[in-house]
Amino acid sequence: MASKKRKKVYSGIGGQAVIEGIMMRNGEKYAIAVRKPDGRIEIEAQTHKQLLKGSPVLKIPFLRGAFVFIDSMILGTRAINYSAEAFDEEEAKETGTSGSGALDKLMSSLVMIIAVALAVGLFIVLPTFLASLFEKNIRNPSLVSIIEGVIRIVVFILYMFAIGFMKDMRRIYRYHGAEHKCINCIERGRTLNVENVKKSSRFHRRCGTSFMYISVFISVVIFFFIRIEYLPLRLLVRILMIPVVLGISYEILALAGRSENILVYILTAPGIWFQHLTTKEPDDKMIEVAIKSVEAVFDWKKYLGDNFGLDIGEDGEIVGALPGWETEYDDAGYYEEDYEDEEYDDYSAEDADPSDFSDEKIDE
């Protein structure tokens, strides 16, 4: 049977894997779906007002990225804490313990602060310090800067490999794959069900893993040109430059979701490669959780009708084409298309607003 590849249309949704579940976000709406120990899927749907919502700052390129990152960290931490509480709820009932709302918020803030501090120490302070040890024997500042950049990249790669050996992280990586596959499924115009999600790619160009890689790469480039001999001052400047690095990285990642330029492909390709480490193939039950999370915040049936001309029945199956749309169906009632697990699933998103992305971490 002949096959044809359909364009990918930006949906505006993004997500994040959490403990035994997935958080999906669509604008100010977000939902966290968690598989409980007894097999039930618990869903928490809420609204989240974006940090500096409505502020002109969020429209300023290279400045908005840092605030989007902070906003994603806040919501991501909230989602992870909720999933942990939901998964451990039965144990809490058995022990008769319960958390305090104020204490939970305090702990969430502390966890986020510690996570940021560890990231700064691991990816900024450590490589700069290690590179400084070579200065006594290497008089060429450019070579020392190159060594610092290499160390920073090696630390990043080792970090990605190391956390993959954690048992809990391996399950989160499978939910991460389910999250990506759901988004790719509907953005390729496929009905949202387990079988179609399984056929979709687990790689997503705007994933938080890609954002991490781009941030590391941009920091290597920027710090190469910042030459300060006094080590404490050099470290301080590196830390103060973090918002600049995040701002540039955000714009590149947003562009990656809207452009088919070969240079953008080359720059973002390693981010896709790293997703081989941070996403794994999910099982059917994980996909079910991801679907529930999507459906809690996103009307995918209307989306498929508006963007692909598909008339979706109450049972979630295609019943025909909407007036004005030319379609080609196979015997099973689906578009003839290629279901390859593509490493690059590109957008056709002329109307995509780069300030909308939240994925995926900044995931996912």
pLDDT surpasses 80 at 38: yes
363 pLDDT exceeds 80? no
Angle made by CA atoms 121, 61, 211, in degrees to the nearest 5:
40
Least confident of 78-92, 98-112, 349-363: 349-363
How many other C-beta atoms can be found within 10 angstroms of the C-beta atom of residue 142? 11
3-state secondary structure of 142: helix
Whole-angstrom Cα Rg for the chain: 22
Pairing of strands 310-312, 318-321: antiparallel
Which of 208-222, 320-334, 341-355 shows the highest mean pLDDT?
A: 208-222
Cα separation, 72 vs 358, in Å, equals: 6
DSSP string, 190-231: ---SHHHHHHS-S--TT-HHHHHHHHHHHHHHHHHT---SSH
Model confidence at 223: pLDDT above 90: yes
The SS3 call for residue 82 is: helix
Say which range, 86-90, 153-157, 259-263, has the weakest mean pLDDT. Answer: 86-90
pLDDT band at 1 (very low <50, low <70, confident <90, very high): very low
pLDDT at 202 over 60: yes
What confidence category does residue 142 fall into, taking pLDDT thresholds of 50, 70 and 90? very high
The larger pLDDT score, comparing residue 191 to residue 6, is at: 191
Task: Name every residue whose Cβ is closer than 8 Å to that of residue 60 and which is 6 or more positions away in sequence.
Answer: none
CA distance 281 to 289: 14
- Answer yes or no: is pLDDT of 3 > 80: no
Greater confidence (22 vs 98) lies with: 22
- Taking the C-alpha atoms of residue 182 and residue 164, their distance in angstroms, rounded to an integer, is 22
> How many Cβ atoms are within 10 Å of 24's Cβ, its own excluded?
30
Residue 149 confidence (pLDDT): 95
pLDDT at 105 over 70: no
Which span out of 105-109, 174-178, 359-363 was modeled with the highest average pLDDT?
A: 174-178
- Number of Cβ within 10 Å of residue 200's Cβ equals 25
Q: How far is Cα 286 from Cα 41, in angstroms, rounded to an integer?
A: 10
8 A C-beta contact, residue 348 and residue 355: no
CA distance 182 to 248: 28
Are 271 and 214 contacting, i.e. CB atoms less than 8 angstroms apart?
yes
What does the pLDDT read at residue 253?
86
310: helix, coil or strand? strand
Mean predicted confidence (pLDDT) in 65-76 = 91
pLDDT at residue 116 greater than cutoff 50 = yes
80 near 19, Cβ under 8 Å? Answer: yes
Question: Is the distance from CB of 268 to CB of 257 less than 8 angstroms?
Answer: no
pLDDT of 90 reads 55
pLDDT band for position 89 (50/70/90)? low
Q: Which residue shows structure tokens 């079910």?
A: 288
DSSP labels for 164-180? TTSHHHHHHHHHHHHHH
In the chain, pLDDT over 90 holds for what percent of residues?
54
pLDDT of residue 58: 87
Residues paired with 31 in a beta bridge: 24, 45
Instruction: Give me the pLDDT at residue 131, please.
Output: 95
Report pTM.
Answer: 0.84
Q: Is 335 helix (H, G, I), strand (E, B) or coil?
A: strand
pLDDT surpasses 60 at 71:
yes
- At residue 165 the predicted structure's pLDDT band, cuts being 50, 70 and 90, is confident
pLDDT, mean of residues 117-145 = 93
Q: Which tokens belong to 131?
A: 């590179």
Are 58 and 52 within 8 A, CB to CB? yes
Mean pLDDT for the chain?
Answer: 83
Angle between helices 262-278 and 141-163 (to 10 degrees): 40
* Stretch 296-321: mean pLDDT: 92
